[in-house]
């Protein structure tokens, strides 16, 4: 499977309706999805991701139930998009090949298969299924700060050899400092850059999402993710509208209408935000301690229930090295901290 032809220097991928699902507690309505896709599509965004925050099959007790079935949302997005591709996220162990087939039938054109940064070996069957379905593919190497640039490149090689057209350095915790991000971008490009595009997905927990995106473009990364109003897990993603404005100032071609994205953020997304992602104490701790961004709401809920600070829960999650998919362990951490407080 060859890498797709790109029309611009950077392909902006908008994940408002997937990563933003975390910040919305997975309560997107069909109308919100339709309105957001229509605005993004008009602004020229080429790829729009739509699924539960934890990907296909994520609507569950463990991760949070969706307001509306994701297949309904995917189908609605497909109806509204006139030129954009509709992408879905699939985390092996949460989503299945059957889920992927249903998503394709609902109108998804692309799948982004996400694994922990050292576990790409669980992805080949999902890339093979996507190839059989004729879908475009990308691969998320999540929590990229948790392994070296060299090892991250080896994991990207596994994905590309399995049919991935765009492996990503995925900064799920918003923890990568600029020199750390650059080293990972350069390692991925050296390993697979002649065969696949390389992508970057950033979070703003330490405020480096935009800066790292600029570095990514400078060294040759071609897929860069954002979310309108930064809507995403933790303190949110790199804001798509800011990425568009920055790249326009730099003379980097993205094919998007900056004012169209500013209008989409201000007039479409902002009115339905119950919670605007921000760099508060809890989110900053996530970046500082290297904690998976989607843990934020789970930690805040556990903090309220067990009367321990959310930032203490998140810091402990970082100390013991929890990764995406271990949301159930947050309760254990809260109980441990509560017990320690009683003993103290």
Average pLDDT, rounded, for the chain: 95
Q: Is 157 helix (H, G, I), strand (E, B) or coil?
A: helix
| Domain match, 208 and 311 both | no
Is 67 one of the annotated active-site residues of the chain?
no
Q: What is the pLDDT of residue 95?
A: 95
Q: Which of 242, 272, 302 is the last residue of a domain?
A: 272
Q: Which of 241, 272, 303 is the last residue of a domain?
A: 272
| 6 is a domain residue | no
Residue 339: CB partners within 8 Å, gap ≥ 6? none
18 marked as part of a ligand binding site: yes
| Domain match, 204 and 306 both | no
pLDDT digits (tens, 9 = 90+) for 2-51: 889 999 999 999 999 999 999 999 999 999 999 999 999 999 999 999 99
| Domain match, 308 and 268 both | no
Q: What is the CATH number of the domain that holds 251?
A: 3.20.20.70
1 pLDDT band (50/70/90 cuts)?
A: low
Classify strands 136-142 and 47-50 as parallel, antiparallel or unpaired: unpaired
| 337 is a domain residue | yes
Q: Which domain holds residue 326?
A: 294-343
| Domain match, 223 and 106 both | yes
| 203 is a domain residue | yes
| Domain match, 220 and 333 both | no
| Domain match, 65 and 135 both | yes
Q: What is the rounded distance in angstroms from the CA atom of residue 108 to the CA atom of residue 180? A: 33
294 marked as part of a ligand binding site: no
Q: Are 189 and 161 in contact (CB under 8 A)?
A: no
Q: Is 210 helix (H, G, I), strand (E, B) or coil?
A: helix
| 32 is a domain residue | yes
| 45 is a domain residue | yes
19 marked as part of a ligand binding site: yes
| Domain match, 168 and 220 both | yes
Q: Are 92 and 113 in contact (CB under 8 A)?
A: yes
Is pLDDT above 90 for 325?
no
pLDDT digits (tens, 9 = 90+) for 244-291: 999 999 999 999 999 999 999 999 999 999 888 888 999 999 999 988
| 286 is a domain residue | no
pLDDT digits (tens, 9 = 90+) for 81-140: 999 999 999 999 999 999 999 999 999 999 999 999 999 999 999 999 999 999 999 999
Q: What is the pLDDT of residue 344?
A: 54
Number of domains in the chain: 2
| Domain match, 264 and 321 both | no
Q: What is the pLDDT of residue 324?
A: 78
Q: Are 246 and 216 in contact (CB under 8 A)?
A: no
pLDDT digits (tens, 9 = 90+) for 186-200: 999 999 999 999 999
Q: What is the pLDDT of residue 267?
A: 98
- Burial label, 285 (beta-carbon count in 10 A; 0-12, 13-18, 19+): buried
126 marked as part of a ligand binding site: no
69 marked as part of a ligand binding site: no
pLDDT digits (tens, 9 = 90+) for 201-257: 999 999 999 999 999 999 999 999 999 999 999 999 999 999 999 999 999 999 999
| 4 is a domain residue | no
Q: What is the CATH number of the domain that holds 304?
A: 1.10.8.60
| Domain match, 147 and 192 both | yes
| Domain match, 264 and 303 both | no
- Burial label, 98 (beta-carbon count in 10 A; 0-12, 13-18, 19+): exposed
Which H/E stretch holds residue 169?
strand 167-170
Q: Is 214 helix (H, G, I), strand (E, B) or coil?
A: helix
Which H/E stretch holds residue 16?
strand 11-17
Model pTM?
0.93
Rg for the chain (alpha carbons), in Å? 18
Q: What is the pLDDT of residue 31?
A: 98
| 287 is a domain residue | no
What is the average per-residue pLDDT within 44-67?
Answer: 92
| Domain match, 248 and 307 both | no
The single residue of 22, 116, 126, 311 carrying the catalytic annotation is 22
| Domain match, 172 and 260 both | yes
């Amino acid at each position: 499977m060859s890498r797709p032809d790109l029309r611009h220097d950077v392909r902006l991928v908008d994940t408002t309706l997937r990563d933003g699902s975390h910040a919305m507690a997975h309560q997107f309505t069909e109308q919100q999805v339709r309105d957001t896709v229509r605005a993004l599509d008009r602004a020229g965004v080429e790829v729009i991701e739509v699924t539960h925050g934890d990907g296909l099959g994520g609507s569950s007790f463990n991760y949070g139930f969706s307001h509306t079935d994701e297949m309904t949302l995917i189908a609605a997005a497909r109806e509204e998009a006139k030129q954009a591709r509709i992408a879905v996220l699939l985390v092996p162990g949460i989503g299945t090949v059957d889920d992927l087939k249903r998503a394709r039938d609902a109108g998804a054109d692309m799948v982004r298969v996400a694994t922990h940064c050292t576990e790409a070996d669980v992805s080949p069957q999902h890339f093979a299924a996507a190839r059989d379905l004729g879908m475009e593919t990308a691969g998320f190497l999540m929590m990229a700060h948790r392994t070296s640039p060299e090892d991250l490149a080896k994991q990207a090689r596994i994905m590309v050899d399995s049919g991935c057209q765009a492996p990503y350095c995925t900064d799920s915790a918003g923890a990568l400092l600029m020199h750390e991000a650059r080293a990972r971008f350069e390692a991925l490009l050296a390993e697979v850059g002649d065969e696949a595009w390389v992508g970057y997905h950033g979070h703003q927990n330490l405020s480096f999402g935009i800066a790292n995106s600029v570095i990514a473009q400078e060294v040759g990364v071609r897929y860069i993710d954002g979310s309108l109003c930064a809507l995403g897990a933790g303190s949110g993603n790199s804001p798509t509208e800011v990425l568009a404005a920055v790249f326009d100032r730099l003379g980097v071609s993205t094919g998007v209408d900056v004012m169209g994205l500013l209008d989409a953020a201000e007039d479409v997304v902002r009115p339905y935000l119950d919670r605007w992602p921000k760099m508060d104490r809890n989110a900053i701790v996530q970046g500082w301690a290297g904690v998976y961004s989607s843990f934020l709401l789970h930690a805040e809920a556990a903090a309220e229930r067990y009367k321990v600070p959310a930032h203490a829960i998140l810091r402990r999650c970082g100390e013991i090295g929890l990764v995406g998919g271990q949301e159930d362990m947050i309760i254990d951490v809260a109980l441990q901290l509560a017990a320690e407080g009683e003993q103290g």
